[in-house]
Chain A
Amino acid sequence: MANDVKPRVKVPKSAAAGDVITIKTLISHQMESGVRKDGDGNIIPRSIINRFVADFNGQNIIDVTLEPAISTNPYFQFDAMVPEAGEFKFTWYDDDGSVYETSKKIKIA
């Protein structure tokens, strides 16, 4: 697993039913290319996030394929309609098999 991976998500705490809200996500990640070498000349294994998924109450909202040219600390911003109270679940998939997850609850106000 890559070092210092930390997902961050910004979701409003509450919204009116049917509101479209903006979600911002950022994951701190090295996005290791797999061609760099360490001080001893050994190749540092490739570790790039290749997929990002967001779900709301089990229903998929967005499913992103990330290609290798994407920078370190990838940032996504997207809109989602909130029909009911529930939980957003965010998942990032790493080339090395690691899965990073975080979730945020939202209330209906």
Chain B
Amino acid sequence: MEFKTLLTSAAIVALSAGFASAQDDAVLTVDGEVIKTRAAAPAFTENLDTVYSGWHFRSGETQVLQMDDFENPAFVFVDQGVDLFDKVDGSEGKACASCHEDVSDFAGLRPTLPRVENGELVTMEDLVNECRTDRMGAEPWKYSGSQMTAVTALIGLQSRGMSINVAVDGDAAPFFERGKDLYYQRVGQLDMACSNCHEDNYGVMIRADHLSQGQINGFPTYRLKNAKLNSAHGRFKGCMENIRATPFKVGGDEFKALELYLAARGNGLSVETPSVRN
């Protein structure tokens, strides 16, 4: 019976998480489909051999929540995204669904974002808001607001299981370099860079929690601590506040460059959107 196998696997996951000090050996499946949560590190990440999804660093109970779409609390918000996708808004009398009839046409979009268009780095949030202002005649949504994360989760979900494949060369190269500089730049009163935690010390406890590699393949992610979907930029902001730095602007150039660099560090992992973390 499905319930019993789920319980058994939950027990195994919990057991292995108990022994492992860092990333565990569990395998993430969602409704039978295997999600790739570990991959050989891209060539430019000199200090890592393998990249791990943040899923491996969570406790067994949290991991199991992501293995069944009914139990995954993020799907409450994905459902809100479905409603928002069909909701007419703005002066043109259009909804997202007026042009994009089938949301599953977005399969394959999430793994390629952020990307460079006409010399500018664009994220999924930018694309959604561009549609809202230019084609729907509606007010743009707040970059990390609940409506935005609901819709980006819905669109990202269409690509779940596909490998992240963000371009880092050509037009994207200057943004990639900027993101890399930001990643290794020490900031704030604690004088720490992203790399100090997520590259030098991943798998180590930080207070009551395991540090992950800071992969963003599961965003927007449902966090148990605030019971809602969280955008990648919202998470960056939280990290910067934790090291007593003044956060960059959510949706600003710095965070977008950092998002590109972090997404590229996860090249080869599967899209997990919407993931569950603590």
Contact = CB atoms under 8 A, between A and B. Distances in A.
B129 interface: no
Contacts of A73: 73, 76
Contacts of A4: 80, 83
Interface string B151-190: 0000000000000000000000000000000000000000
Nearest to A24: B70
Contacts of A72: 227
B79 interface: yes
A71 interface: yes
A26 B76 contact: yes
Secondary structure of the A side of the interface? strand
B44 interface: no
Interface residues of B, number: 11
B227 A22 contact: no
B3 interface: yes
A10 interface: yes
Contacts of A10: 70
A82 to B, nearest CB: 13
B71 interface: yes
* B contacts with A: majority SS: helix
A14 interface: no
B227 A28 contact: no
For chain A, give the interface size range. 10 to 19
Nearest to B4: A22
A46 to B, nearest CB: 20
Contact of B71 (A6, A12, A24, A28): A24
A8 interface: yes
Interface in A57-107: 71-73, 75
B31 to A, nearest CB: 12
A96 to B, nearest CB: 20
Interface of A: 4, 6, 8, 10, 12, 22, 24, 26, 28, 71-73, 75
Given A4-B83, A28-B79, 14 more contacts: A4-B80, A8-B79, A10-B70, A12-B2, A22-B1, A22-B2, A24-B70, A24-B71, A26-B70, A28-B80, A72-B227, A73-B73, A73-B76, A75-B71
